[in-house]
Homo-oligomer: A and B are copies of this chain.
Amino acid sequence: MKNAFSKYIDSLQKNLTLTLEDIDGLEKFKKDSWLREAGGGGLTMIIENGNVFEKGGVNVSKVYGKLPDSMSTMLKATNSDFYACGISIVLHPKNPMIPTFHANLRYFELYENEKLRDRWFGGGLDLTPYYIFEKDIIHFHTKCKNSCDKYDSSFYTSYKNKCDEYFWNSHRNEARGVGGLFFDYCRENNEMSIDKWFSFIKDMGQCILDSYIPIVEKRKEETYNSLNLNWQQIRRGRYVEFNLLHDKGTLFGLKTKGRIESIFMSMPPKVKWIYDFKPEKQSDEEKLVKILESPKNWV
């Protein structure tokens, strides 16, 4: 499974970056391969200052070695090694009418005394808009739901709720965005063999393309002004706050001494913090804030 998943994310990375370059029309992804001292490495692909994407990363990493102490405690494991392999995508479009997008698919193997003790998939995808186009959000969630329903009618609701729970900026008491899917510890069981989970994961990979790309295509020619950009940069501040204060992926990366530039490829390019900024009453900006007050059902 390790090898099969590893090959799959390599091909997904290639496929995604080609598709995104095609949409961007100006910039290409730059490749940066790196090695991790304690074991493994990765290939970071970055696009910057594009026509559509102000900054974006599609990062594959395959790391292994001794499980860090902090994680041993969490997983109740002793004398343990791990193998973690995944693809992460973060896209920060230039146009504030296009949402920021995040997704990742990952596979984890846990060894105790050199024997495989446990293995699972995880991942998800989610949308962080600056302006609300309800149709776009419904489209996004519908694609997510359809991909889930092929496997289990309970998956969508369960993973949608987990996503809302996870991407909650508790210090602001607001959602980071309008959610999507979040799943973790997807282990083989009576209903789902590990191969079936792998097939689910591949459908999620396809869902990344089917859910987000049409929104980019639809909104990339929308007009915007400097006030819209200002709002986008303020909201990106919330994105930074989430990633550095709450995001387990970022903290896992830092704890396992991952490559800092690859971890921080998720950071938005231009960000603002204005003291106590409040959008005007009845404005489009206020509409977003109200929607983020509590998770919504979109389908």
Contacts and interface: CB of A to CB of B under 8 A. Distances in A.
B32 A254 contact: no
Q: How large is the interface on A (under 10, 10 to 19, 20 to 34, 35 or more residues)?
A: 20 to 34
A261 B219 CA distance: 32
A237 interface: yes
Most chain-B Cβ atoms within 10 A of its Cβ — which of A48, A172, A270?
A: A270
B269 A270 contact: no
A274 B47 CA distance: 11
Interface stretch (A35-43, A126-134, A238-246, A285-293): A238-246
Given A171-B254, A260-B172, A265 B275 contact: yes
Nearest to A242: B244
Interface of A: 32, 46, 48, 55, 57, 171-172, 233, 237, 240-241, 244-245, 254, 260-261, 264-265, 267-276
Contacts of A55: 273, 275
A113 to B, nearest CB: 31
Contacts of A273: 55, 264, 267-269, 271
Given A240-B240, A240-B244, A244-B241, A272 B271 contact: yes
Given A240-B244, A241-B244, A32 B271 contact: no
Interface class of chain A by DSSP: mixed
12 contacts: A32-B276, A48-B274, A48-B275, A57-B275, A240-B244, A241-B244, A261-B275, A261-B276, A265-B275, A268-B273, A269-B272, A269-B273
A229 to B, nearest CB: 12
Nearest to A277: B261
Most chain-B Cβ atoms within 10 A of its Cβ — which of A260, A265, A274?
A: A274
A244 B273 CA distance: 13
Most chain-B Cβ atoms within 10 A of its Cβ — which of A245, A268, A271, A272?
A: A271
Nearest to A246: B244
